[in-house]
Amino acid sequence: MIKGILKTIFYKICVLLESLLGDKKARILMYHSFKKDDVFFNVKPESFLEQINYLQEKSFTFITVSELFTKIKNKENISKHIALTFDDGHKDFLDFAYPILKERNIKSTLFWPTKMSGNILKTSTGMECEILSIEDVKNIFSSGLVELGSHGVTHREFTKISDIDLEDEIEVSREDIKNITSFYPESVAYPRGKFSQKVIEVARSSGFKYGLTVKEGGIDKNTDLFRIPRISIDSSVDMFKFRAKLSSFYAIVSSWRG
């Protein structure tokens, strides 16, 4: 109870300071599934729509992960830039989120476990979720709005497998995406956020430029390219918390927490 009260106070402080603190950082938001129930990684479709409406009303610029870091490399302004990322390639992304993004011409990045295409992925809570098929992914990619990134081939945690399997998960997924899109992916999102120095070395040597974590924080020129933070959006995030998580104060505190 006390922890919950402290969290509420913290979120209120974030929102109160939102307009007072200057903020030159970008944000990467992390989504998973879109369903009506309250399983922690779900976002209800109507909540997602409300969040997108808010971002557009506040004049945020939507870009892909690779575009964001190209801007940083070129020393361009990234203030109020948002990269939407979607992990696992859930089928309901196509059913609920993608139509909204397509209608509004909003760019995003999808991290998809390539050998799970059209299959069922069991989550850490035991819930079974249908994954996008290869044809689904081809159709989404053809819009020109969705960048594809690696999420391994089988969604196994990279830190719990052998070195040989790790190389397969990372290298094969990169080739799979190249075969589907004719482009090599530049980014990899570590399944369940698990990574190590060995994982980073394999990702870098395989040709990836960016590695995304589940650690929260903002993005600037000092961001470690293989320890990129994201802001997690799940069923616990109402609009008040959503505003708080976008604030510069939230990003600062998140970076302190390591």
Place of tokens 């999420």: 151
73-95 pLDDT, tens per residue? 999 999 999 999 999 999 999 99
By residue count, the chain amounts to 258
Count of H helices and E strands in the chain?
A: 10, 10
108-156 pLDDT, tens per residue? 999 999 999 888 777 766 677 899 999 999 999 999 999 999 999 999 9
187-230 pLDDT, tens per residue? 999 999 999 999 999 999 999 999 999 999 999 999 999 999 99
Q: What architecture does CATH give domain 2-257?
A: Alpha-Beta Barrel (3.20)
Contact at 8 Å (CB) between 107 and 64? yes
Contact at 8 Å (CB) between 249 and 13? yes
With cut-offs at 50, 70 and 90, classify the pLDDT of residue 36: confident
Roughly what angle, to the nearest 10 degrees, separates helices 45-57 and 239-246?
Answer: 40
Contact at 8 Å (CB) between 231 and 241? no
If you ran DSSP here, which 8-state letter would residue 96 be given?
Answer: I
Q: What is the pTM of this model?
A: 0.92
